[in-house]
Amino acid sequence: MSSPLPAAVVRSLREIVGRGHLITEPDRLVVYESDGLTAYRVPPRAVVLPASTEEVSRVVAVLHAANIAVIPRGAGTGLSGGALATAEGVVVGTARMNAILEIDASNRLARVQPGVINARLTEAAKPHGLYYAPDPSSQSTCTLGGNVAENSGGPHCLKYGVTSRYVTSLTVVLAHGRVVSLGGAGADPNASLDLVGLFVGSEGCFGIATEIEVRLLPIAEGVRTLLGIFDTMEAAGRAVTSIMGIGLLPAAMEIVDNATIRAVEASVFAAGYPIDAGAALIVEFDGTEAGLDADADRAEACCVQEGASAVQRAAEADHRAALWKGRKKAFGAMGRIAPDLLVQDATVPRTRLPEVLVRIAELGERYDLKIANVFHAGDGNLHPNILFDRLDLDELDRVERASKEIMALCVEVGGTITGEHGVGIDKRDYMPLVHGPEELAAMAAAKAVFDPDGLFNPDKVLPLRTQGTEPAAGAEA
Amino acid sequence: MTERVTTSLSDVVPEEALSLPSTDWGRFGPGANVVVCPSNVDEVAATIRWAGATGTRVVPIGTGRHTEGNEPSGDFLLLSTSRMASVQIYEPGDLTLTAEAGLGISALSKVTAENRQWLPFDPVDFPRRSLGGLGAAGQTGPLWTGYGELKNHILGMTVVCGDGRFLKLGGRVVKNVAGFDILRPVVGSRGALAVITSLTVRLFPRPVVDRLLVLEAKSLVDLVGPARAVAMASVLPASIVLVRERNVCQLLVRLHGAAETADADQRTVEAAAGVPFVAVDGGSARVLADSVRDIGGESDLALHAFVLPSRLRELLAIVNDMVDLNVCADVYRGSLRVSCAPEADADEIATRVRHGMERVAEDVVVERLPRGSTHSLGTSRVRSDAVLELERGVKRVFDAGNVLWDGRP
Ligand SMILES: Cc1cc2nc3c(=O)[nH]c(=O)nc-3n(C[C@H](O)[C@H](O)[C@H](O)COP(=O)(O)OP(=O)(O)OC[C@H]3O[C@@H](n4cnc5c(N)ncnc54)[C@H](O)[C@@H]3O)c2cc1C
């Protein structure tokens, strides 16, 4: 249970953001007790919702002067507990900082506040023939600030890359409210150390991004979507390798497995995927209309060669949406078949996918757990989703052990423990699987450059031993 | 001096790792106390520790050919990765390659060409750079338009820090957010943070068609309209470059893709520019692209100016009538590289150009000057105190003892 904020702090915060934008009532704080990873819940001491860089700066200054930790928060869709509060910390949310400040079509840039929803930026850029490329599956709800903090990816990052490729400049509020501008699209990218690149992916531990400049891309002239149906996951995995092997670079390549197909088909989101299929592979090409059919033909040949029993193709938006439906609605559908879902996120070298998928299935059997795979196959970015009931403590224990083994397996074959969801609190203790003590110490030192007193998002990302702090109070796994 | 240093260095690295300073090692070659060419990471670390203990600055180099910036004033050694040049892991199916830092780009390209794969970057003199030098310089070249920046395609590195610490940064996979991205500031730091000993890079399939669309005009500014129109078109070319060399002005638009795609993109480009281009394909396109890439590579003078792309015309207007200057502009970035012919008076040219550019550009970087120039190397951009403080902090993370030379202008 957290203690109330000192009255002087409350007064100062109210003065800065206005009475209505400081939340201290316990029943309202419940909304902020977790992010998309609901296994961890800690109600914050308070939530502050500033509206500008200046307000963020003043809010941070007040809180840090009182030695109170700040937990930045966007939409709370994170899947690693990154926006989870600490009992004595205050959440600073960006919900009111949701203005698109500028679309500079002639330089293909946009400047936004951090609370802008990812999909809204693409909508706003559309009249200019432009869009924002990184497209997390949560894009209709997650914020650009959250994307920057997590260096988020998405289905189309196979061809277009992740958030860090698009961020050209940031205004950030650092410890004690210091405001710093980093980067700039018109400047020499090597004029100073790449501080923008270092800040992206810092999971709210370095400071708060309050203004973000990103590159936009021209909307592709045409799109072709293929849906290949396979008897086994292995065959679908081989098709992915074979498509890349012949030199094609699809915009997206996504796989859903049989467990997911069954969940989707049994739900209101039924997409018409055959329920006995071992896997469905979505392959999407975009770009100049003229070359798309030839690319799609070649990809289809790869699918058939690797044993696809059927391949559908779509060019029109409605038909394409239908092929994507089973992939896009997977998470929603899984909610129906188990009370809890752990969305695991790890990356392996693409060529190791078939082998890793077999071994994950074996792990599911060994731990008697239902594991459903929905993932960005082209990047080797796996999402084994473990279905469970957290009230069943024995099952919860098996989930944790299986989850750890999945991460260890991915590391063993040359991969890593998280491809896009971040470390947050969830994977903090698994960091030693991929990084040695020297690397972890260097990361801690990098955090200290931005946040010397450890007052931004404490206890996240780095194992507590590296941070030299005590375990997060109140965190329940 | 050279002898004393060499003698005690030979206690920590084998004799064959030591070389005499000379111009063979690039601009800083003659001034160095000694050149050390370790054959493994342990020798790199031993050299750096030795340097720290003896107050000798370390300047990491690949071949030394592309050393830029200011030379250290006191005792310094050149640490060359040239004897660390093996390919460690190449898995064509993953489109990734891990190699030691001293591997030359041309050697790397030979290995990857067997699988029709490549590293799609084109900074000046690309094939003669080392992989580590490329990462340390962080320069992509105009192909960033179609492929993104080099820093987005360096997946992992091993480095030795200023105190001899060995760090593994990043990994071998294309998506990786396991921890803070402390690899990123090393890219482009020109050896100021750490000596890069190996890198893992993302490769790309070689395009079926490599086409260069060429448009000539009498002056650079005549080409700005078409160039900007192409940059604003619905297709994204692999690169858009405006050049003037020996008073020949050309707009070069590079298209990569399947044959049908290249044909259709060419039509889109021509419609946007409102004029037909001359198309050059395949080997001839590559030869032309390579020669344009290397414009100014041997020049005594290298000035690099940066603006937002929409203001490129203003920058070009400054150099338009100075026909003795060679110019190469990356249209999609909004940057302009200026160099001069060997016989030209580089110092006088710098005086003429620099001031005008500084009025328009967000950054003017004087990268190279003739010896004895009255100008100084450096950037016109004033970094805020806060940024400088963060940079110093990052430097301390890697090299608290300031053993590694930060010669960035
Ligand atoms: C159904 C679903 C699908 C998803 N699909 C994907 C996917 O395809 N790809 C992917 O990468 N992720 C995916 N995610 C994860 C999540 O949506 C992303 O991590 C997203 O970027 C989080 O944004 P947010 O606004 O919700 O941030 P939050 O969850 O609020 O915060 C995330 C982290 O960012 C920090 N933060 C937030 N704003 C700022 C700021 N302005 N400055 C500094 N730090 C800040 C927080 O402290 C926290 O550490 C998915 C999530 C769900 C629920």
What are the tens digits of pLDDT across the range B214-265? 999 999 999 999 999 999 999 999 999 999 998 899 999 999 998 889 999 9
Residue B210: which H helix or E strand, with range? strand B209-217
Q: Distance (Å) from the C-alpha of residue A425 to the closest C-alpha of chain B? A: 11
Residues 30-69 of A with CB under 8 A from B: none
Residues 444-463 of A with CB under 8 A from B: 445-450, 461-462
> Could you give phi then psi for residue B113, rounded to 5 degrees?
-65, -30
User: Does domain B87-205 match CATH 3.30.465.10?
Assistant: yes
Q: Distance (Å) from the C-alpha of residue A135 to the closest C-alpha of chain B? A: 14
pLDDT on residue B265: 96
CB contact under 8 A, B390 and A195: yes
Confidence class for position A474, pLDDT limits 50, 70, 90: very low
Confidence class for position A471, pLDDT limits 50, 70, 90: very low
Q: What is the mean pLDDT of chain B?
A: 93
CB contact under 8 A, B379 and A188: yes
Please write the tens of the pLDDT for every residue from A415-457: 999 999 999 999 999 999 999 999 999 999 999 999 999 999 9
- Closest residue in B to A461 (Cα) is B179
For ligand 1, is residue A150 a contact (CB within 6 Å)? yes
Q: Where are the alpha helices (DSSP H) in A104-257?
A: 118-125, 144-150, 157-160, 195-199, 233-245
Confidence class for position B6, pLDDT limits 50, 70, 90: low
Gap between the Cα atoms of A125 and B207, Å rounded = 29
Name the one residue in this structure whose structure tokens are 């003017």.
B364
Residues sharing a CB contact under 8 Å with residue A397, sequence separation 6 or more, in sequence order: none
Nearest Cα residue to atom 21 of ligand 1:
A147
Please write the tens of the pLDDT for every residue from A206-251: 999 999 999 999 999 999 999 999 999 989 999 998 998 888 999 9
* Whether the predicted pLDDT of B408 surpasses 80: no
Q: For chain A, what percent of residues have pLDDT higher than 90?
A: 83
Of B180, B188, B306, the CB nearest to A461: B180
Q: In DSSP terms, which residues pair with B281 in a beta bridge? A: B211
Q: For chain B, what percent of residues have pLDDT higher than 70?
A: 98
Given the candidates 3.30.1380, 1.10.3470, 3.30.70, 3.30.1330, the CATH classification of the domain at B294-401 is: 3.30.70
pLDDT on residue B67: 84
User: Does domain A100-218 match CATH 3.40.50.970?
Assistant: no
- First vs last C-alpha separation in chain A: 16
* A241–B contact, CB cutoff 8 A: yes
Q: For chain A, what percent of residues have pLDDT higher than 70?
A: 97
Gap between the Cα atoms of A353 and A360, Å rounded = 10
CB contact under 8 A, B177 and A151: yes
Please write the tens of the pLDDT for every residue from A299-340: 999 999 999 999 999 988 888 888 888 888 888 888 778 888
Q: What is the ipTM of this complex?
A: 0.96
pLDDT on residue B7: 57
* Whether the predicted pLDDT of A39 surpasses 60: yes
Q: In DSSP terms, which residues pair with B336 in a beta bridge? A: B305, B329
Gap between the Cα atoms of B165 and B187, Å rounded = 18
Give A456's contacts in chain B (Cβ within 8 Å): none
Query: In the Cβ-directed half-sphere of B228, how many Cα atoms lie within 13 Å?
Result: 19
Confidence class for position B381, pLDDT limits 50, 70, 90: confident
Pairing mode, if any, of strands A70-73 and A90-93?
parallel
Nearest Cα residue to atom 13 of ligand 1:
A136
Q: Which segments of chain A belong to CATH 3.30.465.10? A: 100-218
Gap between the Cα atoms of B85 and B133, Å rounded = 12
CB contact under 8 A, A434 and B187: no
* Whether the predicted pLDDT of B138 surpasses 50: yes
Annotation: CATH topology of B2-80: 3.30.43
Q: Distance (Å) from the C-alpha of residue A422 to the closest C-alpha of chain B? A: 6
Residues sharing a CB contact under 8 Å with residue B358, sequence separation 6 or more, in sequence order: B364, B380
A246: its two tokens? 């012949």
Q: Which segments of chain A belong to CATH 3.40.462.10? A: 222-412
A477: its two tokens? 């796994």
* Whether the predicted pLDDT of B37 surpasses 80: yes
B183: its two tokens? 């690899």
pLDDT on residue B22: 86
pLDDT on residue A331: 82
pLDDT on residue A466: 74
Which of A37, A70, A150 most suits a substitution to test ligand 1, by most atoms within 8 Å of the C-beta?
Answer: A150
Distance, C-alpha A149 to centroid of its chain = 9
Mean pLDDT on A60-77: 98
The pTM score is 0.96
| A338 CB neighbour count, 10 Å cutoff | 18
CB B47 within 8 A of CB B13: yes
Measured CA to CA in angstroms, residue A47 lies from A92, A174, A444, B309 at distances of 6, 18, 27, 41
* Whether the predicted pLDDT of A272 surpasses 50: yes
Confidence class for position A268, pLDDT limits 50, 70, 90: confident
The CATH class, in words, for A222-412 is alpha beta
pLDDT on residue B5: 54
Gap between the Cα atoms of B182 and A443, Å rounded = 7
For ligand 1, is residue A83 a contact (CB within 6 Å)? yes
pLDDT on residue A469: 56
CB A330 within 8 A of CB A260: yes
Gap between the Cα atoms of A100 and A111, Å rounded = 6
Of A129, A165, A197, the CB nearest to B148: A165
pLDDT on residue A190: 87
Q: Where are the alpha helices (DSSP H) in A281-414?
A: 289-305, 317-328, 330-337, 353-366, 393-412
* Whether the predicted pLDDT of B31 surpasses 80: yes
Helix, strand, or coil here: B206? coil
Cα–Cα nearest to B58, from B174, B207, B162, B181? B162
For ligand 1, is residue A78 a contact (CB within 6 Å)? yes
A13: its two tokens? 């915060």
Please write the tens of the pLDDT for every residue from B173-213: 999 999 999 999 999 999 999 999 999 999 999 998 999 99
A321: its two tokens? 């949406």
Gap between the Cα atoms of A346 and A422, Å rounded = 10
Span of A150-154, A327-331, B41-45, B160-164 with lowest mean pLDDT: A327-331
Give B139's contacts in chain A (Cβ within 8 Å): 190
Gap between the Cα atoms of B175 and A421, Å rounded = 10
Mean pLDDT on A40-69: 97
Q: Where are the alpha helices (DSSP H) in B14-122?
A: 41-54, 105-113
Q: In DSSP terms, which residues pair with A340 in a beta bridge? A: A388
Gap between the Cα atoms of A106 and A86, Å rounded = 44
